[in-house]
């Protein structure tokens, strides 16, 4: 409960940061400053592999949409899940689009492409040195909120898998006092430290995007197979079949094309997944 309340509070802080940047963008546009917006998609590459990588990194930014599925056991009613997603996903899309319009209107192309702290650079350009204080604090709170939400939801995957017998039972233990999946949280912490220490952030994003979309597509295939094999099975939520088909086609594009641009990294990610099969049968 404490973690959920903290996530809600940090979510409000994140909305404040986004609203602040959007207002700065509106002010910039009202003064006739269009920055990179005047150039549109000039000099943009239309190479198919470049588009795939761009989509992968963009979808990674949106990836929190699936975290809600991990905590359905915490909901009072499963029907709250589609309601939450139908509100949250469009809200995130609108916020992201407006924030990027603000960045593009405030910053020149050279700064927009090279900036390592684009929110801070945009705020400093509009409000001066105060931006060096305000924006880093808001961004830090936003990052902390995202990390808190991921920790809260991610540990539930290992916890529930252990309860079902798909992972070692030790990961299904809970804290006696706080009733939290303590071993699953510790396992998640160890794995996070390992991945951060082993590879750089760009490679980590590539590995994650490749594996994530591989499993997203697998889940969609499983959904279609169950719908065909078990048409009469009681379902709390029934997804229209065109939706998983679209996800499979889009996901296949994101899975296959990176092999042309990053064959080594993609092969390593695939090898890790294949290696997990014998490990599962031997140890689980």
**pLDDT value, residue 3:** 66
* pLDDT profile of the chain (284 residues), mean per 10: 74 85 88 73 73 77 73 69 82 88 83 82 86 86 81 81 83 83 89 83 78 87 92 82 91 82 79 82 75
Query: Could you say which DSSP state residue 234 is in?
Result: -
Query: What was the pLDDT predicted at 222?
Result: 93
What's this model's pTM, rounded to 2 decimal places?
A: 0.74
In this structure, are residues 123 and 24 in contact, taking their beta carbons and an 8 Å threshold?
A: yes
pLDDT (0 to 100) of residue 74: 65
pLDDT at 73: 64
Euclidean distance between CA atoms 143 and 192, whole angstroms: 16
Contact 105, 34 (CB under 8 A): yes
The CA distance from 61 to 26, in Å, is 23
| pLDDT, position 1 | 64
In angstroms, rounded to a whole number, what is the distance separating the alpha carbons of residues 167 and 65?
24
- Provide the pLDDT for residue 225: 93
Element (H, E) at 245: helix 242-256
180-183: list long-range contacts, CB under 8 Å, 24+ apart.
181/155, 181/156
- Nearest-Å Rg of the Cα atoms of the chain is 21
End-to-end CA distance of the chain: 31
Q: How far is CA 254 from CA 35, 50, 63, 203, 238, in A?
A: 31, 11, 14, 15, 26
Please report the pLDDT score of residue 245 as a whole number.
93
Hey, CA dihedral for 231, 237, 243, 248, is it positive or negative?
negative
Give residue 248's pLDDT: 93
Q: What are phi and psi of 42, to 5 degrees?
A: -60, 135
């Amino acid at each position: 409960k404490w973690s959920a309340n903290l996530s809600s509070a940090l979510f409000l802080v994140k909305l404040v940061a986004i609203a602040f940047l959007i207002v700065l963008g509106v002010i910039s546009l009202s003064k006739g400053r269009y920055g990179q917006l005047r150039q549109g998609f000039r000099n943009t590459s239309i190479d198919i592999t470049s588009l795939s990588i761009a989509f992968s990194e963009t979808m990674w930014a949106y990836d929190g949409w699936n975290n809600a599925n991990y905590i359905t056991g915490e909901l009072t009613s499963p029907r709250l899940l589609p309601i939450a997603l139908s509100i949250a996903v469009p809200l995130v899309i609108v916020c992201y689009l407006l924030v990027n319009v603000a960045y593009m209107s405030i910053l020149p192309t050279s700064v927009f492409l090279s900036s390592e702290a684009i929110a801070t650079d945009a705020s400093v350009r509009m409000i001066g040195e105060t931006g060096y204080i305000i924006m880093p604090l808001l961004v830090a709170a936003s990052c902390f909120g995202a990390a808190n939400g991921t920790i809260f939801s991610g540990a539930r995957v290992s916890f529930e898998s252990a309860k079902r017998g798909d992972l070692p039972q030790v990961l299904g233990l809970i804290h006696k006092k706080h009733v939290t999946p303590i071993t699953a949280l510790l396992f998640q912490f160890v794995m996070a430290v390992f991945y951060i220490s082993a590879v750089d952030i760009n490679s980590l994003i590539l590995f994650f995007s490749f594996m994530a979309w591989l499993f997203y597509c697998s889940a969609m295939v499983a959904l279609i197979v169950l719908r065909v094999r078990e048409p009469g099975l009681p379902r709390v939520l029934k997804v229209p079949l065109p939706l998983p088909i679209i996800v499979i086609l889009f996901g296949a594009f994101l899975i296959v094309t990176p092999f042309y641009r990053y064959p080594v990294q993609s092969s390593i990610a695939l090898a890790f997944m294949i290696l997990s099969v014998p490990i599962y049968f031997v140890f689980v």
